[in-house]
Structure 1
Amino acid sequence: MNAQTIVLTGAAGEIGRMLRTALARDGRTLRLVDVQDLPAAEADENVEIHQGSITDGAFMQDVCAGADAVIHMASLLDNHTWENYLEVNINGTRTVLEAARLSGVRRVVLASSHHAVGFHPKYEGASAPDYMYPRPDSFYGVTKVAGEALGSLYHDRYGLDVICLRIASYQPVPSDNRQLGHWLSPTDCLGLVEAALSAVDPGYRIVWGVSDNTRRWMSLDEAESIGYKSVDNAEDYAEEVLGNLDPTNVQNGHYGSHFLGGAFCIPDFDGTAAGFHPQH
């Protein structure tokens, strides 16, 4: 097995913490990047800890030197000012891509989000296609559209393989009835990332990050074309989820929206968004 070095940004985040453990294997070194403190490497853990900002080009170029791939998960998730989003989510993504290019990294896996297309209506009886044109539901969604555009540019201009994962709702288990349609399990998230790392000559792709749920809203065509195979289904949790619905939240919360972006699309989102925590 050839040795492999992978840079993982956002390693202190929920998905980053899962990937730190789940991506581990013999012959693979993970370079963990986050502005926050990260736990030190265990004695049997083949990781390097790099604390710093993804907006620091020199830092990121040092981290990327000699790496085979970058998994870019770092992002501001909650409701932030436009200036903060611009600096971290957009400029930071451009900095990561540029560092990868200058360091000779050939593949970047970018974490995008269903919020990039959140104002598209849910498809009834059909799956939302992989390459839906942007209809972001928030500034956060706009930053994910920008990240996809930057990935496209770095593929077309510089030849990087870039796979954008439009992650739907990453959770250990689905927590509301919307997630019965767009849940991404930890096991399937890992499978999707591994597929993105190992696909042969993928070029530029946008793929939905979702488990093969019975009530799934999103296409799996592009994900399966790069080797992804879902093993989980939110329907296994349907009885419990539907039995715990809060009837007072049906119209204004995650349950009531007819859009892909859910609660991000309600009229008063800008005034209440500080309490929302997008899964990606």
Structure 2
Amino acid sequence: MRVLVTGAAGTIGRAVTLGLLDRGHEVVSLDRVPEPDGNETPFHTVDCADADAVAAVFAEESLDGVVHLAGHPDEANLPDSLASHVLTTAALLDAMVEHDVPRLVYASSNHAVGRTPRRELLTVDARPRPDTFYGVGKVAAEALLSLYADRYGLDVVSCRIGSFLPRPETVRHLSTWLSPDDGVRMVEAALTATAPGFAVLYGISANTRAWWDLEPGRALGYEPLDDAEQFADTVAPAAQDDEEAAHVGGPFATPTYYRPALDRLA
């Protein structure tokens, strides 16, 4: 497949780009930052919130799918969160419809359900319970993806990513870790699954202590191979562990992240 990867210069973007290339796919890279040193793919310096610039990329490149990883990865006010996660997704979806690109894989987040109390294995049928405006942006983007899947027949897979890191660093990560290798496996499965329509999966590795159900991902061909438990002996307990385990969003569900939706002058 010839795939556009947005946010290609970011941490997960670099891993996914290299992983897809290793698996024989062609990658076209897009990011709002300049082309990084060592890049070997066609690279477009474009802000995904600029619909005209996005459309121009689609007009120039022949694409089979999109992996949308771009977006501010932390909390912001509500307008900025919606712009970063929803408006960028809208620009891509409109360009996909215009240029007959049928497949999108979206980097959603566990924070779309982060305010869910931590009790038992969480399924994709759980209602959205965002823990932050970041999470609200991911929920709204998922709703937009659902609309375009129903309206235009696009195949879209929303990957609610846990903790994408080289290795787990906290006790919570032993449950939420997504290894770089499994991240690539997840994206490729979402790109190549047969007619998923609108689908949601949880983006974590095969963790012994997993908080989220992996079966929806397996139904799409995602078979994670790594397990955070191999690092359990290297992760030291910390004072905040119990607080971070109270909700599936961990620290994002704590008062540290409470803020008004709108920034106003005093």
TM-score, with length taken from structure 1: 0.87
Distance in structure 1 (CA, Å) of the matches to 2:177 and 2:193? 23
Alignment match, 2:264? none
Matched, 1:212 2:219: no
- What do residues 3-48 of structure 1 show as CA deviations (whole Å, max 9, x unaligned)? x310000111110011121110476321111111122565xx3x10
Residues 40-189 of structure 1: pairs in structure 2 closer than 5 A: 45=40, 47-65=41-59, 66-124=62-120, 127-189=121-183
Give the alignment partner of residue 188 of structure 2, picking from 194, 218, 223.
194
Number of equivalenced pairs: 257
2:251 is matched with: 263
- Rounded Cα–Cα distance in structure 1 between residues aligned with 2:36 and 2:231: 33
Distance 1:26 1:130 in 2: 28
Maintained 8 Å contact 2:172/2:241: no
Distance 1:238 1:25, change over 3 A: closer
Q: Deviations over 1:166-196 (max 9, x none)?
A: 0011111001001111111111110010101
Q: Which runs of 5+ in 2 are unaligned?
A: 260-266
Please report the RMSD computed on the Cα atoms of aligned residues, expressed in angstroms: 1.6
Change (3 A) 1:234 1:251: closer
SS at 1:8's partner residue?
strand
CA contact (8 A) 1:41 1:49 kept: no
Shift of 1:251: 5.2
Distance 1:20 1:182 in 2: 22
The equivalent of 1:236 in structure 2 is 230
Give, in whole Å, the separation in 2 of the partners of 1:195 and 1:118.
24
Are 1:130 and 1:221, in contact at CA under 8 Å, matched by a contact in 2? Answer: no
Asked if the contact 1:52–1:59 (Cα under 8 Å) also holds between the matched residues in 2, the reply is yes
TM-score, length-scaled by structure 2? 0.92
Are 1:245 and 2:245 counterparts?
Answer: no
Deviations 1:217-274 (A, max 9, x none): 1101110001111110000000111xx2333x3455x3xx410111111123226xxx
Distance 2:118 2:242 in 1: 16
Do 1:7 and 1:63's aligned partners in 2 also have CA atoms closer than 8 Å?
Answer: no
SS of the residue 2:200 aligns to = strand
Q: Is the contact made by 2:247 and 2:253 (CA closer than 8 Å) also made in structure 1?
A: yes
Any conservation in 2 of the 1:120–1:135 contact (CA below 8 Å)? yes
Report the 3-state secondary structure (helix = DSSP H, G, I; strand = E; otherwise coil) of the residue aligned with 1:22: helix
Secondary structure of 1:23's match? helix
- What is the identity, as a one-letter code, of the residue corresponding to 2:238? D
Q: Would the aligned equivalents of 1:9 and 1:16 in 2 still touch at CA under 8 Å? A: yes
* Displacement over 6 Å in runs of 4+: none
Mapped to 1, the partners of 2:171 and 2:252 lie a distance apart of 16
2: CA distance, partners of 1:246 / 1:135? 26
Aligned-residue sequence identity (percent) comes to 39
CA contact (8 A) 2:175 2:208 kept: yes
SS of structure 2 residue aligned to 1:109: strand
**What secondary structure does 1:24 align onto?**
helix
Amino acid at match of 1:268: T
5+ residue gaps, structure 1, are 272-280
1:154, CA displacement in angstroms?
0.4
The residue aligned with 2:12 is: 15
Q: Is the contact between residue 131 and residue 206 of structure 1 (CA under 8 Å) also seen in structure 2?
A: no
- Contact 1:7–1:69 under 8 Å retained in 2: yes
Q: Give the aligned residue type for 1:67.
A: L
Q: Which amino acid aligns with 1:144?
A: K
